Structure 1
């Protein structure tokens, strides 16, 4: 049962356990998350009519924790960008407490900033991707949106953790949630990347500096740091993500499931026509680009992977000096939900995609950097697999910024 906002509206949410950490909480997901018996088309004609046969790991864990799945919201094609995404509409209308959305290049955080809510992208590997219809497997993860930071923390603590069904999860030990909900003592030191500030317009810079001042008043110490190759994050994401997307989308051929063309004289025509009809011009452009790097210019892809490793190393080294980074979340002149070309999408997500390249946790905090009613957003970005520490810092800062003590 669909609607303008939902692809599937659950008419009778399950009655899960009453004593779980998410008991009574309403959760909306996207139709690229497998729920047995629900449409799972990932917003794409390529998966037309596909119904999930089993539950994703995160769905199983949410239900065991007492959450009620209210339905699946509409999403952009294969989770790339925010065109047509309605998750925040469900959230801000009060029909859900939590939204679970894919974050491939910052979708969860940009959507959260535009709606004045919290948005969290976990470290890559902290949350099982089993049951997720993905596009860029080395960069995407579930994003968690919520009006209350505590709800985001509780949801993460439920869905994070090892899963034998997902071989991409790291071997390193990690903690999904602080051993105690008592936040860390401040001050902590946050790095403000000067190359990031340099691309902002004056009004954006002033709004961000206002946000920094509020964080400093809450007990955070800031210092300027340099990432001299900051502009390479966009290049690396563009090349690597397009190659992975081209490979991931190769299975959508209309033979076993999804859209099958009615035209063609033979099976080969059917295959080619199904592929040609299944994707929008935007996704086709991205897939063609990836195929070019995959088959015609593979050395460029290899160089992008080497650069990615270098960027990870540079970020890790800086996080030996500071506790976290503080970034603005979005550019005010960029309208991500209406970005219709690859360049426009990368313009809109230029401030969020670095965390996807490096696999770091990133939390969008609302209402700190405002400009004439528009929220620029502030991201707190921590060390990979140390999501619990980032949450501890964020809980303390959020409490202090809203009038609590920073001690």
Structure 2
């Protein structure tokens, strides 16, 4: 298909699927950007394309700054904020010839698991059976996921703090990739939790995700968390040892974390997981059970650490430096309190309060410091089971026990414990109801985020589920050692698009 025809189809689908609420802002249907697609088509014909994404329409999550389109973070605190610059990832895509087609809907400031905490209304996912009731698109990058799933764009960028790219991918049948922390620049991304935030990539297949990763995987001096060229070379050298280099031609050792086989795991997800492992075994790879004992504590630690960082980051939206000032506050009122009370939604307020409490003098030792210790244990669990060593560790921590001999190459596990719930199960009369179960959806995605590891969710279709003749679709997650992103993508390609 020509680039121009693909772009026109994406634009047409944006109108067809407008009720799904995937986009907050879109480009006009004609204009200079369409000429950029035509120019890319000419370059493709001449064999001089700038990159694999030259002329492709890419959607951008609306917490990533764009100069030509407003950035809102789906919040009243940023009402049509016009950024004076593009985020580094947007700049890199445009330099590679990609065309930004619009800004996608999300949970306010990225805080949520279902993309319903938005001032623009919830994102809705297409139902795959005769029941027309809308399903959750996952969160917080639900708009990006639905835009990709319904071909409203070629691919999309999201952000992943505790699973916000992978969970929507699992719920919508798309591919969602969270790279190793620090590989992709976060400069120009509105922060939620700095030590966890990662720009992620969503596409309909692993190949398109891989193409975009190749464009964005660059150091950025403007981002203090971006890995330098020297550190990237050190990571590559760590993966070129004889034992690890042989993985290109020899079978892989695939780990199965026993702690992920929880009682809440739905039969359809369990079936997709077991059949995925059986398929990989038929390809010649070996399957090995491993233990990650701190997994059961990871979710609790995450919901202490992330809100704590969020409460600090969002303090700047005070109506003086950033955010919308409440100018009609009566004498004696506090502009700061009024601004934050009107600007933030209920879920953001809830997490700010939770974070502020865990950082208070009386609670810090019992909550925040303990959560940091758990995070270190989670990282240690992963380092113990992987064959590749942690490239950023020093001294005795660099080598785990006989890692290159006994360790595994990647982990394969579910992305979410159950299929997507109905939106009506947590929304009534246009009001979102808070429920503890909403936070449990991230139980399988949070551990990799705490450790900064690369992880990807791919859709796996299971035919004749439990001999009932039904078809089940589940997200299967592949996790690798820090810096081993290419291996994660390689394994994902082997499972991509498979009906098992």
Partner of 1:101: 158
Task: Report the Cα offset of residue 53 of structure 1.
Answer: 0.9
Partner of 2:391: none
Partner of 2:209: 152
Which shows bigger deviation, 265-274 or 24-33? 265-274
1:241-252 matches, within 5 Å, as 241-252=306-317
**2:351 maps to which of 273, 286, 307:** 286
Question: In 2, distance between residues paired with 1:396 and 1:373?
Answer: 21
Partner of 1:382: 480
**2:171 maps to which of 108, 114, 129:** 114
Cα gap change, 1:247/1:257 in structure 2, threshold over 3 Å: closer, same or farther? closer
Question: In 1, distance between residues paired with 2:163 and 2:152?
Answer: 23
Partner of 1:270: 335
Q: CA RMSD in A?
A: 2.7
Question: In 2, distance between residues paired with 1:235 and 1:59?
Answer: 33
Partner of 1:188: 252
Partner of 2:278: 213
Task: Report the Cα offset of residue 365 of structure 1.
Answer: 1.4
TM-score, structure 1 normalization: 0.90
Task: Report the Cα offset of residue 393 of structure 1.
Answer: 2.9
Task: Report the Cα offset of residue 260 of structure 1.
Answer: 2.3
Give the SS at the match of 1:90: helix
Question: In 1, distance between residues paired with 2:108 and 2:339?
Answer: 16
Task: Report the Cα offset of residue 202 of structure 1.
Answer: 4.3
Give the SS at the match of 1:46: coil
Unmatched 5+ stretches in structure 2: 1-14, 44-48, 117-121, 123-141, 241-246, 388-406, 427-432
Give the SS at the match of 1:304: helix
- Maintained 8 Å contact 1:184/1:392: no
Q: Deviations over 1:310-367 (max 9, x none)?
A: 2101111111310011110112256396765362332111111111111100011112
Q: Deviations over 1:287-328 (max 9, x none)?
A: 101000111311121121121112101111111310011110
Task: Report the Cα offset of residue 228 of structure 1.
Answer: 1.6
Which shows bigger deviation, 325-334 or 260-269? 260-269
1:3-402 matches, within 5 Å, as 4-11=21-28, 12=31, 13=33, 15=36, 18=43, 19-21=49-51, 22-81=53-112, 82-83=115-116, 84=122, 85-171=142-228, 172-173=231-232, 184-199=248-263, 200-266=265-331, 269-295=334-360, 296-299=362-365, 300-320=367-387, 321-332=407-418, 335=421, 340-341=433-434, 343-368=436-461, 372-398=470-496
Task: Report the Cα offset of residue 201 of structure 1.
Answer: 4.1
Cα gap change, 1:132/1:350 in structure 2, threshold over 3 Å: closer, same or farther? same
Partner of 2:46: none
Question: In 2, distance between residues paired with 1:336 and 1:189?
Answer: 37
Q: Report how many residues are paired.
A: 398
Task: Report the Cα offset of residue 73 of structure 1.
Answer: 1.4
RCO higher in structure (CA 8 A, sep ≥6): 1
Which shows bigger deviation, 127-136 or 268-277? 268-277
- Maintained 8 Å contact 2:268/2:474: no
Task: Report the Cα offset of residue 161 of structure 1.
Answer: 1.4
Q: For the pair shown, which has the larger CA radius of gyration, 1 or 2?
A: 2
TM-score, structure 2 normalization: 0.74
Which shows bigger deviation, 134-143 or 122-131? 134-143
Question: In 2, distance between residues paired with 1:360 and 1:196?
Answer: 17
Question: In 2, distance between residues paired with 1:362 and 1:211?
Answer: 16
Cα gap change, 1:114/1:49 in structure 2, threshold over 3 Å: closer, same or farther? same
